[in-house]
């Protein structure tokens, strides 16, 4: 009986410390969440309320004129479609090249496997530089071609190493069993490796998609045709030129309202996508980082 009392007494300070930590943790996360949500909520209100002024977290009036203009005005919706196209095609291309490259590097008996691995690591330390890269793109005839944006932005040595590290976590017995069943290396890749790599595909795919969606510099360097500029470049033009000059629709609409709507359109796609892949994203990054 006395031993049981001593055990309870000995655990009380630990439970109390844990309770204090949990309370502090909830308060900290609540404050952090408010710091992220309140600015976004204010931008959302500013995009639909023409009378919004100062910090207002609930609209007095609702007017979707800014969003209608984004959908109807060619100078706004065309860059948005360009961003969607480059993001989708670039993500698919990046995942294909990354997974194939990582799987090839996984083959220990492949001639030159160590050499190619070292060359990929070398590119993480040294790059060709801005001017040689620009001249290379120009000499290849890829100026004003979205390939000049999609290929460089979709392929990364870091992603290949991360994917290779994830592939190495798959039990070797599965590779051996597939080989005994008569699977070729390509069959093993598509039937065994890819179905087990959903966490890595989700995390790396999100890396590539976010990078392509927010891409700015490659469009400035390699795309001079205004019809092929993406949404990020258009946002810059809106901020520097204070909206779309010469359009009668903007005369009845606040420029801040239009800019706020553009910001919401930029962040909205990934606000919708991320909750569905969050569990895969977290697991994929953790496994790759620990194994590497």
Question: Which tokens hold the place of 208?
Answer: 């590539």
Same domain, residue pair 170 and 73: yes
Give yes or no: residues 53 and 69 share one domain. Answer: no
Domain match, 102 and 230 both: yes
Same domain, yes or no: 142 and 220 = yes
CA distance 229 to 235: 11
Do residues 89 and 150 touch, judged by C-beta distance below 8 A?
yes
Determine contact, residues 116/238, Cβ cutoff 8 Å. no
What was the pLDDT predicted at 253? 55
**pLDDT (0 to 100) of residue 92:** 94
Q: How many domains does one find in the chain?
A: 2
Specify the pTM: 0.75
**Residue that has been written with the tokens 């490659």 in this structure:** 218
The CA dihedral of 46, 47, 49, 52, to the nearest 10 degrees, is 20
Same domain for 26 and 50, yes or no, is: yes
Q: Could you list the residue range(s) of the whole structural domain that residue 24 is in? A: 1-63
CATH number of the domain where residue 139 is located:
1.10.3720.10
Q: What is the pLDDT of residue 12?
A: 59
227 and 86 inside one domain: yes
Shared domain for 50 and 99, answered yes or no, is no
Cβ neighbours of 272 (radius 10 Å):
9
Q: Looking at the structure, do residues 78 and 143 belong to the same domain, yes or no?
A: yes
Do 180 and 260 meet the contact criterion of CB atoms below 8 Å apart? no
Amino acid 88: pLDDT: 93
State the pLDDT at residue 266. 82
Instruction: Give the domain-ending residue among 39, 63, 87.
Output: 63
**Each residue's pLDDT tens digit in the chain (292 positions)?**
444 444 444 445 667 778 888 888 899 999 998 888 888 888 888 777 777 666 777 777 777 777 877 777 777 788 888 999 999 999 999 999 999 988 888 887 788 888 888 888 888 887 777 888 888 888 988 898 899 899 888 888 888 888 888 888 888 888 888 888 888 888 888 888 888 888 888 888 888 998 898 888 889 889 888 888 888 888 777 767 655 544 544 444 567 777 788 888 888 887 788 777 777 666 655 655 544 4
């Amino acid at each position: 009986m006395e031993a049981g009392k001593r055990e309870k007494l000995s655990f009380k300070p630990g439970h109390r410390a844990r309770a204090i930590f949990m309370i502090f943790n909830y308060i900290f996360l609540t404050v952090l969440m408010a710091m992220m949500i309140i600015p976004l909520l204010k931008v959302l209100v500013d995009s639909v309320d023409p009378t919004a002024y100062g910090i207002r977290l609930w609209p007095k009036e609702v007017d979707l004129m800014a969003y209608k203009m984004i959908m109807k005005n060619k100078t706004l919706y065309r860059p948005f479609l360009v961003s969607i196209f480059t993001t989708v095609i670039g993500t698919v291309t990046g995942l294909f090249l990354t997974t194939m490259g990582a799987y090839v590097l996984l083959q220990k008996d492949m001639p030159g496997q160590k050499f190619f691995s070292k060359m990929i690591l070398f590119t993480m330390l040294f790059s060709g530089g801005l001017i040689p890269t620009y001249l290379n793109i120009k000499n290849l005839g890829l100026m004003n071609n979205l390939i000049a944006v999609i290929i460089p932005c979709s392929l990364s040595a870091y992603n290949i190493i991360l994917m290779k590290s994830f592939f190495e976590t798959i039990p070797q017995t599965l590779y051996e069993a597939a080989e005994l069943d008569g699977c070729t290396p390509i069959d093993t890749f598509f039937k065994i490796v890819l179905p087990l790599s959903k966490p890595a595909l989700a995390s790396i795919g999100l890396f590539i998609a976010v990078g392509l969606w927010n891409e700015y510099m490659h469009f400035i360097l390699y795309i001079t045709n205004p019809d092929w500029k993406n949404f990020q470049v258009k946002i810059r033009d809106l901020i520097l030129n204070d909206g779309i000059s010469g359009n009668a629709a903007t005369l009845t609409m606040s420029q801040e309202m239009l800019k706020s709507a553009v910001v919401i359109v930029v962040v909205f796609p990934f606000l919708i996508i991320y909750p569905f892949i969050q569990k895969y994203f977290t697991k994929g990054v953790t496994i790759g980082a620990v194994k590497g």
